[in-house]
Amino acid sequence: MRGTLPSYYNKWGTGDVSGISFDTTGIIEVCISDRAFKRMRNLRFLRIYKSRVDGNDDKVHIPNEMEFPRSLRLLHWEAYPSKSLPSRFYPEYLVELDMKYSKLEKLWDGIQPIANLKKMDLHGSVDLKELPDLSKATNLETLELSICKSLVELPPSFSNLHKLKNLGMSYCINLEVIPTKNIKIFDISETSVKDVPTSVTLWSQLEFFNVHGNEQLKTLPQLPLNITFLCLSNTAFESISCCLKGLRKLAELRLYGCRKLTLLPELPRSLRYLLAQDCESLETIFCSLDTENAHLDFTNCFKLDQQARRAIIEQQSFGYGSSCLPGSKLPTEFEHRAIGNKLTFPLSAFSSFKICLVICLHQQNEEWCDDPRVLCRRVRKGYLYPVEDLACGISRSQTKHLFIFHSDSFDEYIWLEVSKEITFKFNSKYQDFDIFECGVQILTDRTYGSNTEAYGDEEIDNNITTDDDEDDY
C-alpha cells in the first residue's frame, strides 16, 4: 500500500493547518512533496508515527530541500529517513524534538537558537555519530540517547545545560566520555564508560543511577544522598567502596550478576529491595542487615558464610519483608515445622510470626518463570482462605532455597477462636516449584535481638509433623 499526506495540503499546504498526526501503520511507501509544508505558516505540531508493529518496513521519501515551518513547537517523526535535518531548519520555537529510531547521523551544523527546547528524544538512532552544539539549549530538561550505538562522546556544550534532569544513555555501547551534570536520572547502562565523574557527589538532585552491564567501570565515587535507585548489575565490581549506609533515601539496590563481588557493605535502613541473584563470589555481608521491611534476594549466592546467612535470616525479625537464599533445611528457630506444604501450630498470645519454606523449581521446567509466587492460605473447616501472595525469587535456580517472610496479617480474628491450633497451606501460584518443608517462628518481645546457633542446613528432628493424615484441600 502506498500513501501520501492528505491531498488538500500535500502539494501546497494551507495556512489553516495547526497540527498533523499521520499514522503510517500498514503503509509500505510514503511520499512527501517538497512543497508539503510550504504554506503551513501556522503548523505547530507535526507527528509521523506507527501506532503498532505490522511487519512492514516503511519507505518514506522526502526531498533534500524540504523546509519545516518556522512555527513548529513539536516535531515527532519516528524512523526519520535522512542522515540530517534539512539545511533550512528553524527550531527557534521548538519545545520537543522526538526522532526515535531515525537514520540521522547528525542533526544540524553550527549553533541553533533552541532556548525553548525542553525535550530531545533520539532513542534507537543507531547511526547517530555526533550531537550538535547545544550551548543555546538552556532550558533542556530531558535528553534520551539510549541505543545510539555509534555515539562516542557528548559535546563540551553540555556544561551549559543547567536544567537537564533526565539523561538516558543506556546501550550506547561505544560511549566513553560522559558530561558532568546536575541531573535527576543518570543511565549509562551497557556503555563503555570507564569513569564516573567525581563531581557526581555534588549532583544534589540525582535520584536514579544505573550502570547495568558496564564491564569497564571498576569503582564508584561517593554518591549524593538523594539516590533512591542504584543499579550495579552485571558489572565487574569486586567490592562497593562508596558508603551505602549514608544513602538515607535508597529504596532499591540491584546487584544481580555481579559475579566478582565478594563483600556487601553496610546498608541503609531505608532499603526496600535488594536484588543480589547470581553473586556467585559473595561471601561476606558487613554487620547486621538492619533493613526493616526489605525484600532480599540472594538466589544462587552459594558462598555466603555463616555470618552472612545469619544476617539475612535474622533481619526479617524486624519488619514485613522477605528473604531468599540457598538452603535445604529449616533453621533451628523455626520450632513449629512440617514436611511438605501444610503446617499446623498452636495458637497463643503473640503479635506476629515469620514463615520459612524450603522450595525448589521443578527440574523439568524448560522455561524459567519470571515471577514465581507463593500462595499462603489458611485451612479452616475444609476451606482454604487466602492470606498472602508473595514473590519469592528463585526464578533462575534449580537448587533448594529458603524463602522467609514475616507477617502479622493472618486474620486478626483468629486469635479470638476457641481452637488451640491453626493450619496454613503453602503452594506455588503457577505450579513452577515444589515446597519440601515449612516452619513457623512465633515472635515475642524476647525474639527480637535473640541469637540462634544454626542457620539453614542442619538436620533437625524435634517438633516435625508430616501431613500424611491430613486432608489435602
Q: What is the pLDDT of residues 290-342, one digit of tens each?
A: 666 788 999 999 999 999 998 888 875 555 688 999 999 999 999 999 999 99
pLDDT below 70 — which residues of the chain?
Answer: 1-15, 52-58, 177-180, 182, 242, 287-292, 316-320, 348-351, 363-370, 407-419, 444-473
pLDDT value, residue 290: 66
DSSP 8-state class, residue 425: E
Q: Three-state SS for 155? A: coil
Backbone angles phi, psi at 76, to 5 degrees: -125, 105
* Sequence-ordered list of residues with C-beta below 8 angstroms from that of 211, at least 6 positions apart, any chain: 188, 189, 193, 196, 217, 231, 232, 235
Angle at 140 (CA atoms; ends 37, 78), nearest 5 degrees: 45
Helices and strands counted in the chain (H then E) = 2, 28
Angle at 309 (CA atoms; ends 238, 465), nearest 5 degrees: 150
Q: 567490592: which residue's cell?
A: 239
Q: Three-state SS for 462? A: coil
* Sequence-ordered list of residues with C-beta below 8 angstroms from that of 135, at least 6 positions apart, any chain: 111, 157, 160
Kindly tell me the sign of the dihedral angle through the C-alpha atoms of 135, 136, 140, 142: negative
Q: What is the full DSSP assignment across 141-199?
A: -EEE-TT-TT--B--GGGGG-TT--EEE-TT-TT--B------SEEE-TTS------GG
Backbone angles phi, psi at 263, to 5 degrees: -135, 140
Beta strand 273-275 with 208-210 is unpaired
pLDDT value, residue 372: 85
pLDDT value, residue 3: 45
pLDDT value, residue 367: 56
pLDDT value, residue 166: 85
d(CA 171, CA 193) in angstroms, rounded, equals: 11
In this structure, which topology does domain 1-164 adopt according to CATH?
3.80.10
* Numbered ranges of CATH 3.80.10.10 in the chain: 1-164
Angle at 372 (CA atoms; ends 370, 378), nearest 5 degrees: 160
Beta strand 263-264 with 273-275 is unpaired
* Nine-digit cell string for 381: 473447616
CA distances from 405 to 207, 328, 376, 426, 456 (A): 29, 16, 11, 12, 15
Contact 198, 217 (CB under 8 A): no
d(CA 356, CA 283) in angstroms, rounded, equals: 22
pLDDT value, residue 113: 93
pTM: 0.71
pLDDT value, residue 396: 74
CA distances from 264 to 122, 137, 189 (A): 37, 41, 21
d(CA 462, CA 416) in angstroms, rounded, equals: 28
* Numbered ranges of CATH 2.60.120 in the chain: 336-466
pLDDT value, residue 466: 41
Architecture of domain 336-466: Sandwich (2.60)
